[in-house]
Structure 1
Amino acid sequence: MNHTDTLIPFRIDIPEADVVELRDRLAHTRWPVPVPGRDDPADFSRGIPLPYLAELAEHWRDGYDWRTREAELNALTQFTTVIDGQTFHVVHVRSENPDAVPLLLNHGWPGSFVEYQLLIPLLTSDFHVVIATPPGFGFSTPLSSTGWDLARTTDAFAEIMTRLGYARFAVHGTDIGSGIAGNLAAAHPDRVIGVHLGVDRAVLGLVGVVFPRPEGLSDDETAQLAAVQAASAAERGYLEMHNHRPDTIAASLADSPVGLLAWIAEKFKTRTDDGHRPPVVDRDQLLTVISVYWFTRSGASSIQFYYESEHTTRGLAMASEVPTAWAAFDSHPLIRRAMEPANAIGHWSDFTEGGHFPAMEEPELLAEDLRGFVTSI
């Protein structure tokens, strides 16, 4: 890799003109003509309903305060650094505990480093917390080239930990961040002291697609799996677009704030509120996540990560010799059957609470599980 080892202090400073432009674009949204019968803001059966989207957009325009959220994020120590020509954004919050363990937190789409904002203060008594933003996401922009797939990103994250002075460290990940976490352990087993992965029942939708189907399922278990997979199939339209045609949706995500809002907010709604538990993601934190995508134009560039990782021979990997933990939120009995049929993982936690974004939904549960796992190793 051609790079320098410089870590450059970074602060978020969105120009006021950009904030004003966002509000102006929201005020002049060209809304779809309402479809008769589609007036229930809780009905996501055809995607995000117009009444729900319009109310959220109105709050983003008139009720949400970006400057307050920007100041809160700037309370975190941040850097940028360049690796192989690509700028990476890094949050680094050191613990006052001299024996603290370095912990790298990895997020996926449509998350961002903002996803871990509530979790960080719950961890710093025991961990030096690092959040490295994948290329094309957030402030790890613009993309320097094509080819930033899972494996290349993994190597860059290992280099970031080196630059921060951490020879050994623990890793946590959710969504595609769990892929980065697993690959880090596989590629650098001498450096990764433990891998902690967060999942939710949506992972069952990938059984038979990405993960093998468990053997010996009863008729009832087969029916349960089929029900989850049917719901998941309705959610995967974005995934096929990202994996194969990211440039087609990219223009809309960069040009229309309401288009970006619909594309991301739908996933936060359906993956944190599936009908049997109340949504717990703070609305303003959600809008901060989306605002970062908007101001950095990373709605378009972040989805390239899917294409690159789909079109590579260097895919997911795990290291059997590195201690591994799983925390299943909004859990389902079949998750462990599908993801860990050997029943060999010593630290497995099932939680009825939470969902796809546990750091935003149940930060206390996630922090305690992380702490318990790392203490055990």
Structure 2
Amino acid sequence: MAIKPFHIHVSDDILNDLQYRLQHVRLPDQLEDSGWERGTDINFLKSLLSYWRDHYDWRAQESKLNNFSQFHCDIDGIDVHFVHERGKGPNPMPIILTHGWPDSYLRYQKIIPLLTDPASYGGNPEDAFDVIVPSLPGFGFSSRPTKPGFNNYSVSQMWAKLMTQELGYTKFAAAGGDIGSGVTRYLAASNPELLFGIHLTDVGIIRSLMTSQDTELTQEEQQYKKNASAWVANEGGYMSIQSTKPQTLAYGLSDSPVGVAAWIIEKLRAWSDCKGDLSQRYSQDELLTHIMIYWVTNTIGSSTQMYYENSHSLPPLGHIEVPTGMAIFPADIVLPPKSWAERNLNIIRWTTMPAGGHFTAMEEPEALANDIRAFYRPMRMEN
């Protein structure tokens, strides 16, 4: 299938159905004074639901999203949705940005113009990029897989086809976080000749360190093992469910906009540098637009399948020789040990940011854009 332009237009039937559901909500009880301790706080959720029902304007958000140049293209049986914004500079470098969960391609909404048109934001036009932001299979406006097998590795092969066979780039840059970090690393491991370099904001949970003997680890890695084990025990319940029984979870979430909202905002709060106050980082419109991407496409269930696939069908990942930049944001989930990264990746840039959490491009877009520009600047002579 050839590349086809795409324009978001959610049907009135879907929006009317959502409005009906928001007007007929049945909420659980919450223990007194428990706040966010046991999950999403009911008072915060009630306030958000009230705004969603009475004030949120999807059509206005839809119009903003349609300002991006969007397309669909069939790759390996998936109708892949992607943004493709051309850079404004003398020789833009192509870069593919891969999102994670529970975000979507909107993770990069704020950073796209900073990368495509740096001169308009105080930068150098020679640092411009052609920016490609696909939606992962089963996420948002990409189609939902009907067969198993779509894991980080297989998606990385899809992205290689998108960039070379469909868009005609011979060499490109790649960046990502969360699931996007895994996809980007598999892309580098399997197709190094296609890449100038890769830029990452995390490396996920490093299972090999968690199962290693302390005597085999550096002091930094031993501390990581403790931190990661504590995080998985206290915060990793969602991961265990989505890696083992995503289908059971999908029934409840696919049928309840309140359930989707509660499932997502708890993670946005816990993983962002917001000190427990979501309003420090996100407006209500931002929160709800992220939730709406899942709701209007009915992809909250299919998005969780990626966890199952990555737990059950992912091949091992070897040492990565492609030049790698890491931007570490202090409030991210579990910060990777530099010693491990240097053993497993060809680290040529390591930046510790002053602020920001897991949703880097949403929280600190300028800082991330500046680091991406700086990392790839020496490589542009190859472009």
**1:170 aligned counterpart, secondary structure:** strand
Q: Which residue is equivalent to 1:314? A: 315
CA distance in 2, matches of 1:71, 1:295: 15
Could you tell me how far apart the structure 2 residues matched to 1:68 and 1:334 are?
A: 37
The separation in 1 between residues aligned to 2:316 and 2:240, in whole angstroms, is: 17
Check conservation: 2:324, 2:346, Cα contact below 8 A: no
Matches within 5 A, 1:1-377: 4=1, 6-38=2-34, 43-125=35-117, 126-162=128-164, 163-199=166-202, 208-209=209-210, 215-217=217-219, 226=226, 229-273=229-273, 275=275, 279-320=280-321, 322-330=322-330, 335-337=336-338, 339-342=340-343, 345-377=347-379
Task: Find the aligned partners of 1:315 and 1:216 in 2 and give their Cα distance.
Answer: 23
Moved more, 239-248 or 27-36: 27-36
Q: 1:317 to 1:285 in 2, by over 3 A?
A: farther
Q: Taking structure 1 as reference, are residues 345 and 281 closer, same or farther at Cα in structure 2, changes over 3 Å only?
A: same
Flag the structure with higher helix content. Answer: 2
Q: What is the identity, as a one-letter code, of the residue corresponding to 2:250?
A: A
Kindly tell me: are residues 223 and 76 of structure 1, through their superposed partners in 2, closer, same or farther at Cα, counting changes over 3 Å?
Answer: closer
The answer to whether the 8 A contact 2:210-2:225 is kept is no
Question: CA separation in 2, counterparts of 1:89 and 1:118?
Answer: 18
Number of corresponding residues: 364
State the Cα distance separating 1:327 from its structure 2 match.
Answer: 0.3
| Secondary structure of 1:72's aligned partner | helix
Unaligned runs of 5+ in 2: 118-127
Q: Percent of aligned positions with the same letter in both sequences? A: 38
Q: CA deviation at 1:153?
A: 1.0
Residue segments in structure 1 that go unaligned for 5+ positions in a row: none
Deviation per residue, 1:238-280 (Å, 9 max, x gap): 1011111000100111100000111111000000146389841
Counterparts of 1:325 and 1:150, CA distance in 2: 19
TM-score (norm 1): 0.89
Provide the rounded CA distance (Å) in 2 between the counterparts of 1:207 and 1:280: 33
Q: After superposing the two structures, state which structure 1 stretch, 25-34 or 358-367, moved more.
A: 25-34
TM-score by length of 2: 0.88
Task: Tell me the C-alpha RMSD between the 2 structures.
Answer: 2.5
* Contact 2:320–2:346 (CA under 8 A) maintained in structure 1: no
CA contact (8 A) 1:309 1:315 kept: no
